[in-house]
Structure 1
Amino acid sequence: MATITVERTIGTTKKAVLAGLGAYNDEHFGKQKVRSIAVSLKDRRKIVGGIVGHLWATVLFIQYFWIDQKQRGKGFGTKLIAAIEDEARRHGAIQAYVDTMSFQAPGFYRSCGYEEFGTLKGYPGGVTRHSFTKSL
């Protein structure tokens, strides 16, 4: 008989869930390669910004994007976005997806051509999560 258990560590469960979900998705979507992509901004070999994402099928998912406060306002954000989009296009991406909090960068993504398609309210302090997409 099946039972439900709350786990104290997620490693084993996460591995099983990812394997099961991957097999299910492959049955319905075909085997898709996942490619990790990272673009960094360096100052004298030190990383002072960057974007980390992955490409699954034909969609770039931007997971993390950060620029050190001292480097902001100098156009590096726009150049980093362009670089990861270009790299994703080289590998067949036709769409990009990102989400950001209201105190982070929704205006920035709009200025880079991303279109908002949803919001999620309910975070502390009245913060809202914004979801964006862009055709590549």
Structure 2
Amino acid sequence: MATITVERTIGTTKKAVLAGLAGYNHEHMGTQRLKGVAVSLKDRGKIVGGIVGQIWTTVLFIQWFWIEQKMRGQDQGSKLIAAIEDEARRLGATRSYVDTMSFQAPGFYRSCGYEEFGAIDGYPGGVTRHWFTKSL
């Protein structure tokens, strides 16, 4: 008889779920590539911003993007986006997507050519989560 268990340590379950999902995806999409990519912004050798993402098959997912407050408004964010998009293209990506909260950077992504394709309300403080995509 099957049982359901709630866990606070996710390592073993995560590995099993990812392996099962990868096998299922392989049946429908063939062998897939997953490549990590990161771009950093440095000031005097210290990382003051950066983007971390993954390219799965032909799509870049921007997972994390941060720039120190003092570096904002200097076009550094646009340069970081351009750098990760260029690297993603070099690795075969044809599309990018990202999600961001309403208090973070939806306007920034729009200014970089990203188009919103979804949003979810209901976060504390009236915050909305937005999803964006862009053809590379």
C-alpha distance in 1 between matches for 2:57 and 2:8: 33
Q: Does 1:11 align with 2:19?
A: no
**Could you tell me how far 1:8 is from its partner in structure 2?**
2.5
**Alignment-derived partner of residue 69 in structure 2:** 69
Compute the TM-score of the two structures, normalised by the length of structure 1: 0.99
Give SS of 1:5's match: coil
C-alpha distance in 2 between matches for 1:56 and 1:23: 15
**Alignment-derived partner of residue 111 in structure 2:** 111
C-alpha distance in 2 between matches for 1:76 and 1:89: 20
Matches within 5 A, 1:20-35: 20-35=20-35
Matches within 5 A, 1:38-53: 38-53=38-53
C-alpha distance in 1 between matches for 2:102 and 2:83: 24
- Residue by residue over 1:51-86, the C-alpha shift from the partner in whole angstroms, topping out at 9 and shown as x without a partner, is 000000100000000000010000000000000000
Matches within 5 A, 1:79-118: 79-118=79-118
Paired AA for residue 43 in structure 1? D
**Alignment-derived partner of residue 121 in structure 1:** 121
How many residues align structurally?
136
C-alpha distance in 2 between matches for 1:122 and 1:25: 31
Give SS of 1:122's match: strand
C-alpha distance in 2 between matches for 1:33 and 1:56: 6
Compute the TM-score of the two structures, normalised by the length of structure 2: 0.99
C-alpha distance in 2 between matches for 1:8 and 1:58: 33
**Alignment-derived partner of residue 132 in structure 2:** 132
C-alpha distance in 1 between matches for 2:21 and 2:39: 28
Structure 2 unaligned runs (5+)? none
Structure 1 unaligned runs (5+)? none
**Could you tell me how far 1:31 is from its partner in structure 2?**
1.0
Paired AA for residue 111 in structure 1? S
Paired AA for residue 33 in structure 1? R
